[in-house]
A and B are shown apart, each in its own frame.
Chain A
Amino acid sequence: MNISHEWLQRFAPHGRSAEQVRDLLTAHVATVEGFERLRADLAPFVVGRVVETQRIPETKLSFNKVDDGSGTLLDVVCGAPNVTVGATYPFARSGTRVPPSAKNPEGLLIEKRKIRGFTSNGMLCSAQELNLGADADGILELQTDAPPGTALLDVLPVGDVRLVVDVTPNRPELLSHLGVAREVAALTGVALQRPAELQALPAFGGTTSWATQELLVGGFTVRVTDAADAPRYGVAVIDGVRVGESPAWLKACVEAVGGRSINNVVDATNYMLHGFGQPMHAFDAATLGASTVLVRRARAGETLVTLDGVTRTLDPSMLVNADAHQAIGLAGVMGGKATEVSASTTRVLLEVAEFAPAVVRTTRRRAALSTDASYRFERGIDGGATAEMLALGAALIAAVGGGTVIAQGVVGTAAAARPAVRLRPSRVARLLGDAVPGAEITALLRGIGFAVADAGADALDVVPPTWRHDIAREVDLIEEVARLRGFDRLPDALQGARPGTVPDHPLFTAYRRVRDALVAEGLHELRPLPFTAGAGEDPATLVRVTNPLAEDEPFLRARVLDTLARRAEYNLNRMQGNVRVFEVGAVFRAQGRGLPREAQHVGALIMGARRPVHFSEPQPPAFDAWDAKSLAEVMARAAHPAAAITLVPGDGAVLWQIEADAVRIGRVERITLDAPVWAKPAFGVELLLGDVHNVPVAAPSTNVHDVAPVPATHREPVRYRALPTTPAAEFDLALLVPDAVAAGAVERVLREVSGAQLERLELFDEFRGAGVPEGTRSLAWRLTFRHPERTLRDKEIEGRRVQLLKSVEAQLGVRARTN
Chain B
Amino acid sequence: MSLNEFLAALDALAAEAPDRIAAAADLEAWTEVRNALVGRQAGRLTEILAGLGALPKEDRREAGQRANAVKVGIEEALDTRRAALAAAAATSGPALDLSMPARARWIGAVHPVSLVIDDVIEIFRELGFSIAIGPEAEHAWYNFGALNFPADHPAMDMHDTLYLGDEQVLRTHTSPVQVRTMQRYRPPIRVLAPGNVYRRDFFDPSHAPMFSQIEGLVVDEGVSFADLKATLSHFARRFFGASTRTRFRPSYFPFTEPSAEMDVQCGVCGGGGCAVCKQSGWVEILGSGMVHPAVLEHAGIDSERYTGWAFGMGPARTAISRHGIPDIRILYDSDVRFLEQFAR
Q: Which residues, 183 to 226 on B, are CB-close (under 8 Å) to A?
A: 183-191, 194, 196, 200, 202-203, 208-210, 212, 218, 220, 222, 224-226
In the docked arrangement, what's the CA distance between A483 and B227, Å?
16
| A767 CB, nearest partner CB in chain B, Å | 28
- Give the Cβ gap from A157 to chain B, nearest Cβ, in Å: 24
Distance of A204 from chain B, by nearest CB (Å): 35
In the complex the two chains form, is A525's CB within 8 Å of B109's CB?
yes
- Answer whether residue A694 sits at the interface, using C-beta atoms and an 8 A cutoff: yes
**Given A482-B258, A521-B108, also A431-B307 (CB < 8 A):** yes
Contact indicator per residue, chain B 158-196, by CB within 8 Å of chain A (1) or not (0): 100011110010100000000111111111111100101
Which of A35, A487, A614, A708 gathers the greatest number of chain B CB atoms within 10 Å?
A487
User: Contacts A27-B249, A576-B336, A704-B183 known; A490 to B229 CB distance under 8 Å?
Assistant: yes
Q: Is the CB of A497 within 8 A of B138?
A: no
Which single member of A490, A497, A508 contacts B190 (CB below 8 Å)? A497
B184 touches A586 (CB 8 A): no
In angstroms, Cα B229 to Cα A27, docked, is: 14
Stretch with Cβ within 8 A of B (4 or more), from A280-288, A329-337, A473-481:
A473-481
Determine, out of B13-21, B33-41, B57-65, B139-147, the stretch whose residues face the partner at the interface. B139-147
Q: Is B138's CB under 8 angstroms from A495's CB?
A: no
- Which chain B positions have C-beta within 8 A of A199? none
- Is A143 located at the chain interface by the 8 A CB criterion? no
Q: How many residues of A contact B (CB 8 A)?
A: 109
**CB within 8 Å of A: which B100-115 residues:** 100-101, 103-111, 113-114
- Residue-wise, chain A 171-182 has the 8 Å CB interface mask toward B (1 for contact) of 100000000000
Interface centre among B128, B133, B181, B259 (most CB of A within 10 A): B133
| B335/A576 in contact, CB under 8 A | yes
Q: Is the CB of A524 within 8 A of B335?
A: no
The answer to whether A545 and B190 have CB atoms under 8 Å apart is: no
A497 touching B220 in the complex, CB below 8 Å, given contacts A28-B250, A170-B252, A576-B336: yes
Give the CA-CA distance A696 to B258 in the complex, in Å: 28
Docked complex: A133-168 residues within 8 A CB-CB of B: 168
A171 nearest CB neighbor, chain B only? B252
Stretch at the interface among A383-391, A499-507, A758-766, A799-807: A499-507
Residues of A within 8 A of B163 (CB): 545-547
Q: Tell whether A696 pairs with B189 under 8 Å between CB atoms, given A611-B105, A612-B105.
A: no
Distance in Å: Cβ of A508 to nearest Cβ of chain B: 4
**Chain B proximity mask over A21-47: 1 for CB below 8 Å, otherwise 0:** 000001111110101000000000000
CB contact between B227 and one of A31, A35, A497, A508 (< 8 Å): that residue = A497
Q: Which of B107, B183, B331 has the most CB of A within 10 A?
A: B183
Q: Which of B101, B298, B307, B342 contacts A615 (CB 8 A)?
A: B101
Quick check: is A574 within 8 A (CB to CB) of the other chain?
A: yes
- Least CB distance from A94 to B in Å reads 30
Q: Is B132 an interface residue (CB 8 A)?
A: yes
Q: A703 to B301, Cβ gap below 8 A?
A: yes
A-B interface contact total, Cβ < 8 Å: 303
Q: How far is it, in angstroms, between the C-alpha of A546 and the C-alpha of B169 when the chains are bound? A: 9
- Proximity bits, A413-451, B CB within 8 Å = 1, else 0: 000000000000000001111100000000000000000
Mark out the residues of chain B between 68 and 113 whose CB falls within 8 Å of any chain A CB in the assembled complex.
100-101, 103-111, 113
Chain B residue contacts of A168, Cβ below 8 A? 251-252
Whether B222 pairs with A522 at a CB distance below 8 angstroms is: no
Tell me whether A585 is interfacial, beta carbon within 8 Å: yes
The answer, yes or no, to whether A347 is at the interface (CB within 8 Å) is no
Interface 9-residue window, one of A72-80, A188-196, A338-346, A527-535: A527-535
Q: B98 to chain A: closest CB distance in Å?
A: 13
Q: Kindly specify which of A81-89, A401-409, A512-520, A673-681 makes contact with the partner chain.
A: A512-520
Is residue B44 within 8 Å, beta carbon to beta carbon, of the partner chain? Answer: no
- Interface residue A749 (Cβ < 8 Å from any Cβ of B): no
Contact A692 B183 (CB under 8 A): no
B230 to A494, Cβ gap below 8 A?
yes
- Chain B residues whose CB sits within 8 angstroms of the CB of A710 once the complex forms: 185
Tell yes or no: A593 within 8 A of B by CB: yes
Question: Assuming the A-B contacts A478-B258, A529-B332, A703-B301, are A708 and B184 also in contact, with contact meaning beta carbons closer than 8 angstroms in the complex?
Answer: yes
Is the CB of A378 closer than 8 A to any CB of chain B? yes
| A-side contacts of B56, CB under 8 Å | none
Contacts A578-B336, A700-B298, A703-B183 given; indicate if A692 touches B111 (C-beta within 8 A): no
Contacts of B300 in A (CB 8 A): 698, 701-703, 705
CA distance A527 to B319 in the complex (A): 13
CB distance from A34 to the nearest CB of B (A): 8
Interfacial chain A residues near B234, Cβ < 8 Å: 494
Q: Which of B4-12, B22-30, B264-272, B289-297 contacts A (4 or more CB under 8 A)?
A: B289-297
Residue of B163, B208, B226, B261 most packed against chain A (CB within 10 A)? B226
Contacts of B258 in A (CB 8 A): 432, 475, 478-479, 482-483, 487
Q: Which of A538-591 contact B (CB under 8 A)?
A: 543-549, 556, 567, 570-571, 574, 576, 578-581, 585-586, 588
Choose among A526, A579, A614 the residue that contacts B111 (Cβ–Cβ < 8 A): A526
How far does the alpha carbon of A701 sit from the alpha carbon of B339 in the complex, in Å? 45
Question: Contacts A168-B252, A494-B231 known; A432 to B183 CB distance under 8 Å?
Answer: no
Contact A30 B250, CB 8 Å, known A500-B130, A502-B189, A596-B137:
yes
Residue numbers in A under 8 Å from B136 (CB-CB):
586, 598, 692
Residues A479 and B185 in contact, CB atoms below 8 Å apart: no
A676 to chain B, nearest CB (A): 16
Q: Which residue of B lies closest to A690 (CB)?
A: B133
A498 at the interface (CB under 8 A from B): yes
A595 x B130 contact (CB < 8 A): no
Collect the chain A residues with CB atoms within 8 Å of residue B103's CB: 614, 616
B161–chain A nearest beta-carbon distance, Å = 8
Query: Which chain B residues border A473 with CB–CB below 8 Å?
Result: 293-294
* A579 engages B108 (CB within 8 Å): no
**Cβ–Cβ < 8 Å partners of A223 in chain B:** none
Is the Cβ of B164 less than 8 Å from the Cβ of A505? Answer: no
Bound form: Cα–Cα A378–B154 in Å: 7
Q: Which residues of B contact A361 (CB under 8 A)?
A: 152, 154
In the complex, which of the residues A475, A524, A579 contacts B109, with contact meaning CB atoms closer than 8 Å? A524
Taking CB atoms, residues of chain B closer than 8 Å to A308 are: none
**Residues on the B chain within 8 Å of A525, using CB:** 108-111, 114, 339
**Which residue of chain A lies nearest to B170 when distances are taken between CB atoms in the complex?**
A545
Known: A482-B225, A703-B182. A614 touches B248 (CB 8 A): no
Given A501-B185, A528-B334, A595:B162 Cβ within 8 A: no
- Does A755 sit within 8 A of B, measured CB to CB? no
Give the complex CA separation of A519 and B110 in angstroms: 7
B135 within 8 A of A: yes
A25 to B: closest C-beta gap in Å: 10
Asked if B52 is at the interface (CB within 8 A of a chain A CB), the reply is no
Q: Which residues of B contact A357 (CB under 8 A)?
A: 153
Q: Does B209 contact A529, Cβ atoms closer than 8 Å?
A: yes
Q: Which of A576-627 contact B (CB under 8 A)?
A: 576, 578-581, 585-586, 588, 593-596, 598, 611-616
- Do A433 and B157 touch across chains, with their CB atoms under 8 A apart? no
- A88-108 CB mask vs B (1 if < 8 Å, else 0) is 000000000000000000000
Flag if B225 contacts A432 (CB, 8 Å): yes
The answer on a CB contact under 8 Å between B131 and A508 is yes
Q: How far is the CA of A502 from the CA of B133 in the complex (A)?
A: 11
With A487-B260, A502-B132, A547-B162 given, is the CB distance from A694 to B154 under 8 Å?
Answer: no
Q: Contact: A549 with B209, CB < 8 Å?
A: yes
B42 on the interface (CB 8 Å rule)? no
The verdict on A197 contacting chain B, using a C-beta distance below 8 Å, is: no
Decide: A571 and B335 in contact? CB cutoff 8 A.
yes
A519-B109, A694-B138 given; 12 more Cβ-contact pairs under 8 Å: A169-B155, A430-B224, A433-B224, A479-B257, A527-B331, A595-B137, A613-B104, A614-B104, A616-B103, A692-B135, A693-B135, A697-B184
Q: Can you list 16 A-B contacts (CB < 8 A)?
A: A26-B249, A170-B155, A497-B220, A502-B184, A522-B108, A524-B109, A524-B336, A529-B210, A545-B164, A548-B162, A570-B334, A571-B336, A576-B337, A615-B100, A698-B183, A703-B184
